[in-house]
Structure 1
Protein backbone atom coordinates (compact mmCIF):
# COMPACT_ATOMS: atom_id res chain seq x y z
CA UNK A 1 0.00 0.00 0.00
CA UNK A 2 1.35 3.39 -0.97
CA UNK A 3 1.49 6.43 1.32
CA UNK A 4 -1.43 8.04 -0.52
CA UNK A 5 -3.51 4.93 0.16
CA UNK A 6 -2.65 5.04 3.85
CA UNK A 7 -3.50 8.74 4.11
CA UNK A 8 -6.80 8.24 2.30
CA UNK A 9 -7.60 5.27 4.59
CA UNK A 10 -7.05 7.50 7.62
CA UNK A 11 -9.24 10.27 6.21
CA UNK A 12 -11.97 7.82 5.25
CA UNK A 13 -11.60 6.18 8.66
CA UNK A 14 -12.24 9.51 10.38
CA UNK A 15 -15.39 10.03 8.33
CA UNK A 16 -16.59 6.44 8.78
CA UNK A 17 -15.91 6.51 12.53
CA UNK A 18 -17.76 9.79 12.95
CA UNK A 19 -20.75 8.59 10.93
CA UNK A 20 -20.79 5.30 12.81
CA UNK A 21 -20.85 7.21 16.07
CA UNK A 22 -23.63 9.51 14.86
CA UNK A 23 -26.00 6.67 13.95
CA UNK A 24 -25.92 5.37 17.52
CA UNK A 25 -28.45 6.83 19.94
CA UNK A 26 -27.23 8.59 23.06
CA UNK A 27 -23.79 9.66 24.09
CA UNK A 28 -20.73 7.49 23.62
CA UNK A 29 -18.01 7.92 26.18
CA UNK A 30 -15.03 7.07 24.02
CA UNK A 31 -12.37 9.43 22.81
CA UNK A 32 -11.71 10.85 19.40
CA UNK A 33 -8.68 8.64 18.82
CA UNK A 34 -10.73 5.52 19.56
CA UNK A 35 -13.40 6.74 17.16
CA UNK A 36 -10.77 7.22 14.46
CA UNK A 37 -9.24 3.79 15.15
CA UNK A 38 -12.64 2.09 14.95
CA UNK A 39 -13.40 4.01 11.74
CA UNK A 40 -10.15 2.96 10.10
CA UNK A 41 -10.70 -0.67 11.06
CA UNK A 42 -14.31 -0.51 9.82
CA UNK A 43 -13.15 1.03 6.54
CA UNK A 44 -10.67 -1.78 5.90
CA UNK A 45 -13.00 -4.58 6.99
CA UNK A 46 -15.97 -3.02 5.18
CA UNK A 47 -14.00 -2.83 1.96
CA UNK A 48 -13.06 -6.50 2.30
CA UNK A 49 -16.69 -7.47 2.97
CA UNK A 50 -17.90 -5.40 0.02
CA UNK A 51 -15.28 -7.01 -2.22
CA UNK A 52 -16.37 -10.46 -1.05
CA UNK A 53 -19.98 -9.59 -1.85
CA UNK A 54 -18.96 -8.18 -5.25
CA UNK A 55 -20.17 -4.62 -4.59
CA UNK A 56 -16.83 -2.89 -4.00
CA UNK A 57 -16.24 -1.73 -7.57
CA UNK A 58 -19.33 -0.13 -9.01
CA UNK A 59 -19.83 2.88 -11.23
CA UNK A 60 -20.13 6.11 -9.32
CA UNK A 61 -20.33 6.21 -5.55
CA UNK A 62 -20.12 2.87 -3.78
CA UNK A 63 -23.15 3.40 -1.53
CA UNK A 64 -23.42 -0.22 -0.44
CA UNK A 65 -19.75 -0.26 0.58
CA UNK A 66 -20.24 2.97 2.56
CA UNK A 67 -23.28 1.53 4.32
CA UNK A 68 -21.35 -1.62 5.25
CA UNK A 69 -18.46 0.45 6.59
CA UNK A 70 -20.75 2.74 8.61
CA UNK A 71 -22.64 -0.22 10.05
CA UNK A 72 -19.36 -1.88 11.06
CA UNK A 73 -18.16 1.38 12.63
CA UNK A 74 -21.41 1.67 14.62
CA UNK A 75 -21.01 -1.91 15.85
CA UNK A 76 -17.37 -1.22 16.73
CA UNK A 77 -18.16 1.98 18.62
CA UNK A 78 -20.99 0.27 20.52
CA UNK A 79 -18.77 -2.70 21.40
CA UNK A 80 -15.94 -0.44 22.56
CA UNK A 81 -18.38 1.61 24.62
CA UNK A 82 -19.63 -1.52 26.38
CA UNK A 83 -16.10 -2.77 27.02
CA UNK A 84 -15.07 0.55 28.50
CA UNK A 85 -18.23 0.74 30.64
CA UNK A 86 -17.33 -2.57 32.30
CA UNK A 87 -13.81 -1.44 33.19
Structure 2
Protein backbone atom coordinates (compact mmCIF):
# COMPACT_ATOMS: atom_id res chain seq x y z
CA UNK A 1 0.00 0.00 0.00
CA UNK A 2 2.79 2.45 0.85
CA UNK A 3 4.50 1.54 -2.42
CA UNK A 4 1.33 2.33 -4.36
CA UNK A 5 1.00 5.74 -2.69
CA UNK A 6 4.65 6.57 -3.35
CA UNK A 7 4.29 5.41 -6.97
CA UNK A 8 1.20 7.61 -7.45
CA UNK A 9 3.08 10.62 -6.05
CA UNK A 10 6.10 10.00 -8.29
CA UNK A 11 3.95 9.48 -11.42
CA UNK A 12 1.90 12.56 -10.48
CA UNK A 13 5.07 14.61 -10.14
CA UNK A 14 6.32 13.44 -13.54
CA UNK A 15 2.96 13.95 -15.29
CA UNK A 16 2.45 17.35 -13.64
CA UNK A 17 5.98 18.50 -14.45
CA UNK A 18 5.68 17.39 -18.09
CA UNK A 19 2.30 19.11 -18.35
CA UNK A 20 3.76 22.37 -17.04
CA UNK A 21 6.73 22.11 -19.40
CA UNK A 22 4.43 21.63 -22.38
CA UNK A 23 2.11 24.51 -21.44
CA UNK A 24 2.99 27.85 -23.01
CA UNK A 25 3.85 30.76 -20.74
CA UNK A 26 4.71 30.87 -17.07
CA UNK A 27 2.45 29.13 -14.59
CA UNK A 28 2.51 30.33 -11.00
CA UNK A 29 1.69 26.92 -9.51
CA UNK A 30 3.38 25.34 -6.51
CA UNK A 31 4.91 21.88 -6.44
CA UNK A 32 2.15 20.40 -4.24
CA UNK A 33 -0.59 21.60 -6.62
CA UNK A 34 1.49 20.30 -9.55
CA UNK A 35 1.69 16.85 -7.94
CA UNK A 36 -2.02 16.78 -7.05
CA UNK A 37 -3.10 17.90 -10.53
CA UNK A 38 -0.60 15.45 -12.07
CA UNK A 39 -2.04 12.57 -10.03
CA UNK A 40 -5.59 13.58 -10.99
CA UNK A 41 -4.55 13.95 -14.64
CA UNK A 42 -2.92 10.53 -14.62
CA UNK A 43 -5.93 8.84 -13.03
CA UNK A 44 -8.47 10.55 -15.28
CA UNK A 45 -6.29 10.01 -18.36
CA UNK A 46 -5.94 6.29 -17.66
CA UNK A 47 -9.68 5.99 -17.05
CA UNK A 48 -10.46 7.84 -20.31
CA UNK A 49 -8.02 5.71 -22.33
CA UNK A 50 -9.61 2.49 -21.08
CA UNK A 51 -13.15 3.85 -21.62
CA UNK A 52 -12.46 4.35 -25.34
CA UNK A 53 -11.20 0.79 -25.70
CA UNK A 54 -7.44 0.94 -25.06
CA UNK A 55 -5.94 -2.38 -24.04
CA UNK A 56 -2.33 -3.11 -23.34
CA UNK A 57 -2.36 -6.58 -24.90
CA UNK A 58 1.42 -6.67 -25.46
CA UNK A 59 2.27 -5.76 -21.86
CA UNK A 60 5.01 -3.34 -20.98
CA UNK A 61 4.74 0.38 -20.39
CA UNK A 62 1.34 1.88 -21.12
CA UNK A 63 2.29 4.96 -23.17
CA UNK A 64 -1.22 5.94 -24.36
CA UNK A 65 -2.72 6.42 -20.86
CA UNK A 66 0.47 8.29 -19.86
CA UNK A 67 0.14 10.73 -22.79
CA UNK A 68 -3.59 11.17 -22.20
CA UNK A 69 -2.78 11.82 -18.52
CA UNK A 70 -0.39 14.61 -19.51
CA UNK A 71 -3.06 16.18 -21.74
CA UNK A 72 -5.63 15.97 -18.94
CA UNK A 73 -3.12 17.44 -16.46
CA UNK A 74 -2.54 20.37 -18.86
CA UNK A 75 -6.30 20.96 -18.92
CA UNK A 76 -6.49 20.73 -15.11
CA UNK A 77 -3.61 23.20 -14.66
CA UNK A 78 -5.25 25.60 -17.13
CA UNK A 79 -8.57 25.27 -15.27
CA UNK A 80 -6.81 25.82 -11.93
CA UNK A 81 -5.15 28.97 -13.23
CA UNK A 82 -8.44 30.23 -14.67
CA UNK A 83 -10.31 29.68 -11.40
CA UNK A 84 -7.57 31.06 -9.18
CA UNK A 85 -6.72 33.89 -11.55
CA UNK A 86 -3.30 35.04 -12.45
CA UNK A 87 -1.49 36.79 -9.65
CA UNK A 88 0.68 39.68 -10.71
CA UNK A 89 3.56 40.48 -8.42
CA UNK A 90 4.24 44.16 -7.93
CA UNK A 91 7.79 45.09 -7.10
TM superposition score category, shorter chain reference? 0.7 to 0.9
Structure 1 residue ranges without an equivalent (≥5):
none
Q: Shift of the alpha carbon at 1:82?
A: 1.3
Q: Shift of the alpha carbon at 1:86?
A: 6.4
CA 1:12/1:84 → structure 2, altered by over 3 Å: closer, same or farther?
Answer: same
Q: Which runs of 4+ in 1 moved over 4 A?
A: none
TM-score, normalised by the number of residues in structure 1: 0.86
Return the index of the structure with the highest Cα Rg.
2
Contact between 1:17 and 1:73, CA under 8 Å: does it hold in 2? yes
Q: Distance in 2 between matches of 1:58 and 1:22?
A: 31
Q: Deviations over 1:24-82 (max 9, x none)?
A: 10000111111111001111111111221232534332221111000000001111111
Q: Distance in 1 between matches of 2:83 and 2:20?
A: 16
Residues 1:36 and 2:35 are matched in the alignment:
yes
Structure 2 residue ranges without an equivalent (≥5):
none
